[in-house]
């Protein structure tokens, strides 16, 4: 029997992008999944979009008020019933082969807790402009870890697949309005093995969502994250808090000089011709499903 994959999706006023996100799940080659969509007090009626899809694999949970992604993500995790956990934000989308590739690798390598992939960075026109977080090109998975040193997680949260037994032991901090994903990821990874595929499977609209204010607020929560580890890592926690603070100052200066977009773009590599071809092929498939399921 194929494992069940739980895809958690926090959603807040994302009615414009939600159809493409859901279409990318409906287009999947791997069909044994559930999507736990938590509507975090939206005012643009995502329920209507979910009802229009009419797929029993999508579970809709409505919060009466906006409580933040930390709360929404935790509620989705608490309600997830799969063997593996994946994430998909309502303003992103994923390649149709993502879940199949990841679950096959996780089943073949029971010793790893988390398997991540690369991300395609897109602009407002949904065109690929960068690639981030890819794993090494190799004949087989390159197992890394166990993670024992405190620091920023070495993988991205959004494209990761996590064994549910471990994921349920971690918590999204309800007080973190930003950076709750990084805090959760660090809990999952500490003392455990992980891998990163060289494949790009997750599409992230970073350029449209990142602002200086968001960067600085995330910096505050990242420092609070490391503060949680002061007893366990008294020196490393303080070093990391200092590094995060210094980085926030650098971002202030860079944005003041009008180089903010350049700084953000530096986080990604230029996509290869193969990256572009794979992206266009995935987008064509997902867009086709979106047009069929959301014609009106």
Distance CA 142, CA 34 (A): 29
Q: Please state whether the predicted TM-score (pTM) of the whole model is above 0.75.
A: yes
Reply yes or no on whether the pLDDT at 267 is more than 90: no
Radius of gyration of the chain (CA): 19
Q: How far apart are CA 95 and CA 6, in angstroms?
A: 16
What integer pLDDT is reported at residue 207 of this predicted model?
66
**Contact criterion met (CB below 8 Å) for 49 and 18:** yes
Average pLDDT over residues 103-127: 95
What pLDDT sits at residue 104? 95
Angle (CA) 241-244-250 rounded to 5° is: 145
Is pLDDT above 60 for 1? yes
Give residue 296's pLDDT band: very low, low, confident or very high (50, 70, 90).
low
**Residue range 40-58: mean pLDDT, rounded:** 95
Whole-number average pLDDT of the chain: 94
39 forms bridges with which residues in the sheet?
A: 11, 62
pLDDT at 295: 72
Quick one: pLDDT at residue 136?
87
Per-residue model confidence as pLDDT tens digits over 8-27: 999 999 999 999 999 999 99
Burial letters 222-257, b for 16+ CB under 10 A, else e = bbbbbeebeeebeeebeebbeebeeebeebeebbee
Distance CA(147)–CA(154), nearest Å, equals: 9
pLDDT digits (tens, 9 = 90+) for 141-150: 899 999 999 9
Q: Please write the tens of the pLDDT for every residue from 161-180.
A: 999 999 999 999 999 999 99
Q: Of 209, 208, 152, which is closest to residue 181 (Cα–Cα)? A: 152
């Amino acid at each position: 029997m194929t494992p069940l994959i739980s895809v958690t999706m926090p959603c807040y006023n994302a009615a414009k992008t939600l159809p493409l996100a859901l279409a990318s799940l409906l287009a999947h080659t791997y069909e044994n999944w559930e999507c736990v969509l938590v509507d975090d007090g939206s005012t643009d009626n995502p329920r209507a979009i979910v009802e229009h899809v009419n797929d029993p694999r999508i579970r809709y949970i409505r919060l009466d008020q906006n409580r933040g992604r930390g709360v929404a993500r935790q509620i989705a995790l608490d309600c997830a019933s799969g063997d593996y956990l994946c994430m998909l934000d309502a303003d992103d989308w994923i390649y149709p082969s993502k879940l199949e590739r990841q679950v096959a690798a996780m089943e073949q390598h029971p010793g790893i807790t988390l398997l991540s992939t690369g991300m395609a960075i897109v602009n407002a026109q949904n065109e690929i402009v960068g690639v981030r977080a890819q794993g090494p090109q190799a004949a087989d998975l390159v197992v890394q870890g166990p993670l024992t040193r405190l620091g920023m997680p070495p993988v991205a949260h959004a494209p990761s697949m996590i064994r549910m037994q471990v994921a349920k032991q971690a918590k999204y901090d309800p007080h973190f309005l930003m950076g709750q994903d990084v805090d959760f990821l660090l809990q999952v990874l500490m003392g455990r093995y992980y891998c990163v595929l060289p494949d790009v499977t997750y599409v992230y609209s970073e350029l449209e969502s990142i602002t200086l204010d968001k960067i600085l607020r995330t910096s505050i929560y990242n420092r609070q994250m490391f503060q949680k580890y002061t007893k366990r890592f008294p020196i490393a926690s303080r070093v990391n808090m200092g590094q995060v603070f210094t980085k926030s100052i650098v971002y202030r200066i860079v944005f003041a000089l009008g180089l903010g977009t350049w700084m953000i773009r530096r986080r990604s590599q230029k996509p290869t011709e193969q990256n572009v071809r794979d992206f266009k092929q995935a987008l064509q498939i997902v867009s086709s499903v979106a047009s069929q399921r959301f014609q009106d």
